[in-house]
A and B are shown apart, each in its own frame.
Chain A
Amino acid sequence: MASYYFAIVGVTDNPIYETEIIPSSRSSRDDHKHLNQFIVHAALDVVEEVQWNTQAMFLKSIDRFNEYFVSCFVTAGNVKLMLLHDQKSEDSIKNFFNEVYEQYIKVLLNPFYEKNSLITNGQFDQKVKASARRYL
């Protein structure tokens, strides 16, 4: 099972939600965690270029860094769901994104939740991790 880093980035390039899915067999490599953030941040530029060329929400694999791929899903409100992965499996990633997108809309519909603010909902976190286990 491969490791993944998933982040939801707001309109002003601020992280709204982050999570890592690391297989238990591999020891947690703390020294590389910040690198994930850098890679995703750099990929945001590419997203901004590519998003105008297509009307799809799922922009497949838009960037590469050494052995990592970055896939992106842009929502209607320009919030980006970014996934850092080292294996290509488009369909399962697409399903994962769709499920997270649905949960994100439900969180957004809360009138007490400001768009672009951090998502601190524990159940959202649980749902994302459950989707990740199912699809990734």
Chain B
Amino acid sequence: MDSSLRSTNTTTSSSYSDQRIPRGKSILDRNLNKTRGAEVSLGAQAFLFSEILQYTQKRVNGIQDLEQKLNELGYRAGIRMLELLSWREKASKRETRVLGVLYFIHNVVWKYLFGKQADSLEKSTENEDEYMISDNEPILSRYISVPKELSQLNCNAYIAGIVEACLDGYQFPARVTAHTVPIDGFPQRTTILIKLDKDVLQREEQWK
């Protein structure tokens, strides 16, 4: 990591041959499968996420803004996750249908993030363009207690950002939001609501 940073900092021209290329291992030599299956401790993740929340909270005014900021942060992570997981899962195969992408998110992405598949994938009966992915016990917000004034806030907006990045990458632009929808036995159940753009629906119509 250090060596690749150094090599980009020393150049002032755009010609590659002028850069001082250091010898030794660089990030480009590392195997992409090296951290496959690696896990992070929940405590470390909760600590990091709480700091992220505090940081963003100071810089926004309002719940919508906070969720938007978290969404953007998740988006940046999602872009990279999409390519990496696609490559690891089945290299040289992409998804071209909505259902395929949703299954990809429901199975692969959730398994990578939380070690298990998402709990349900549903299509809304009222609107053609809405889909819902639910998680009965979201790990990310397990240690977050939301005060009454901010009861509309769902910190899984970060996860919504990741999902939005996956959809965007596969060319299915959508608006993705996270909502708390408690049911019996699972008071923390979170639903990720995916609202696809009109162009996507039109394109899907062609393939029917």
Contact = CB atoms under 8 A, between A and B. Distances in A.
Contacts of B28: 103, 106-107, 121, 123-124, 127
A125 interface: yes
B86 A76 contact: yes
Nearest to B27: A106
A51 B93 CA distance: 11
Q: Indicate the size class of the contact surface on chain B.
A: 20 to 34
Interface in A79-117: 98, 101-111, 115
Interface stretch (B36-44, B74-82, B110-118, B177-185): B74-82
Interface stretch (A1-9, A37-45, A54-62): A54-62
Contact of A110 (B7, B27, B92): B27
Main secondary structure of the interface of B (DSSP, over half): helix
A76 B87 contact: yes
Interface stretch (B14-22, B63-71, B127-135): B14-22
Interface of A: 51-58, 74-78, 98, 101-111, 115, 120-127
28 contacts: A51-B96, A52-B203, A52-B207, A55-B95, A56-B92, A75-B83, A76-B82, A76-B169, A77-B83, A77-B169, A77-B170, A98-B92, A102-B32, A102-B87, A104-B83, A105-B84, A105-B87, A106-B27, A107-B28, A108-B80, A109-B84, A111-B80, A115-B79, A121-B4, A122-B7, A123-B21, A123-B26, A126-B16
